Amino acid sequence: MTPESVPLETISPEPCSWVEIECITHHIFEEAVSDIMIGSGVWGTWSEQNPSGFVIHGYYQEIIEKSSPVEKMSLLLNNIPAPPGTFQLTVKPYEERDWLIEWKKYYKPVRISANLLIVPSWDKNESDTGTIVRINPGKAFGTGGHPTTRLCLRELEEVISGWEGPPPSLLDVGCGSAILSIAAVKLGVADCVAVDNDRTALENAEENIILNGLSLPLRSEIPVGKKFDILVSNILAETHCQLKDTFHECLHRNGIMILSGILDDCADEVIRAFEGISLKMEQMRREGEWVCLRFRKTS
């Protein structure tokens, strides 16, 4: 169903340095709306469940005018197939704040498993043990707070810890903040390449890689002619299917592919697409309405 125009309530402010955008929607649209906000020029987002519903907050530094990110955001939200009224936007002036302080309110350490912990860059708790991945929240997806990222991390940990033979190589497609690549290297991957076609994501990825004391290659395109033992991708189900032949070519025989960012009702479509090109599904993980699929290349 094509939605009606997104309701947009603009509170005209005096010139100010920061503007806040709020989008009230269903939580299943969190990733899509956050990506649209960031792609429209928003500096950062965070989400909460409050009495109004599920709310995604975004901020940009600009006077509200015709060319503001809100216009672009409204058009992109209208392209999401959803019932009318699914996305309710409000815009209002917002006093300039110390963003590190703001992030500290909403971004806390995320325990992925008994061994794996995602920690914000400013957290200096020396009592943390195990495999620790430090992330500086930026304009790229992947802080450990979303189910799709947690599912990928748990699957990666299981695959890497059970790997037999020399340490595996890994390709991370749509790396965002590079959280999956960083975790994979710390868990034992020897050769890792992270790919994203968004310049802002690559900048945030580089920052996080350095923050964790690592050095690994970042690419804007999937490398041609290079094969990997593991491929991980946390993007949209539709994009997975569009890239299925490329993914197949990137994997060694018996290689493992981990796909996330898939809503439960899209899983069968993805499974059919990949099993049709000699990738056998071995495992499905669920968290809420999201699934993560593990495949093995059979030929």
Q: Are residues 118 and 260 in the same domain?
A: yes
Q: What is the CATH number of the domain that holds 31?
A: 3.30.70.260
Model-level pTM? Answer: 0.71
For residues 52 and 152, membership in a common domain is answered with: no
CA nearest to 15, candidates 81, 47, 62: 62
Cα distances from 131 to residues 26, 111, 134, 237, in angstroms, run 33, 10, 10, 29
Tell me: do 97 and 137 sit in the same domain.
no
Query: Is residue 3 a part of any domain in this protein?
Result: no
Look at 69 and 59; give whichever has higher pLDDT.
59
Do 133 and 281 belong to one domain? yes
Measure CA 60 to chain center. 20
Mean pLDDT confidence for 72-92: 85
The pLDDT tens digits for 178-219 are: 999 999 999 999 999 999 988 888 888 999 999 999 999 999
What are the Cα distances from residue 213, in Å, to 111, 194, 198, 209? 21, 16, 23, 7
Query: Are the beta carbons of 83 and 5 closer than 8 angstroms?
Result: no
Whether 131 and 34 map to the same domain: the answer is no
Same domain assignment for residues 64 and 198: no
Question: Which domain does 20 fall in, by range?
Answer: 8-102
How many separate domains does the chain show? 2
- 63 domain-assigned: yes
Contacts of 266 (CB under 8 A, 6+ apart): 237
Is residue 1 assigned to a domain? no
Tell me the per-residue pLDDT of 9-23, one tens digit each, with 9 for 90 and over. 333 333 446 788 899
What gap in Å lies between CA 170 and CA 295, rounded to an integer? 14
What percentage of the chain exceeds 70 in pLDDT? Answer: 85
The two structure tokens encoding residue 132: 């620790």
Contact between residue 136 and residue 120 where contact means Cβ atoms under 8 Å apart: yes
Of 76 and 292, the structure prediction assigns the larger pLDDT to 292
Residues 6+ apart with CB under 8 A from 71: none
For residues 148 and 233, membership in a common domain is answered with: yes
pLDDT given at position 138: 65
Same domain, residue pair 79 and 166:
no
Judge whether residue 276 has pLDDT over 60. Answer: yes
Structure-token pair, residue 10: 């603009």
Q: Which residue reads 């965070």 in tokens?
A: 46
Tell me: do 97 and 114 sit in the same domain.
no
- Residue identified by tokens 């899983």 is 267
Decide if 2 is inside a domain.
no
Kindly tell me if the per-residue pLDDT of 161 is higher than 80.
yes
Do 169 and 96 fall within a single domain?
no
Residue 113 has pLDDT above 60, yes or no: yes
- Contact status, residue 118 vs residue 67, Cβ threshold 8 Å: no
Rg of the chain over Cα atoms, rounded to whole angstroms, equals 20
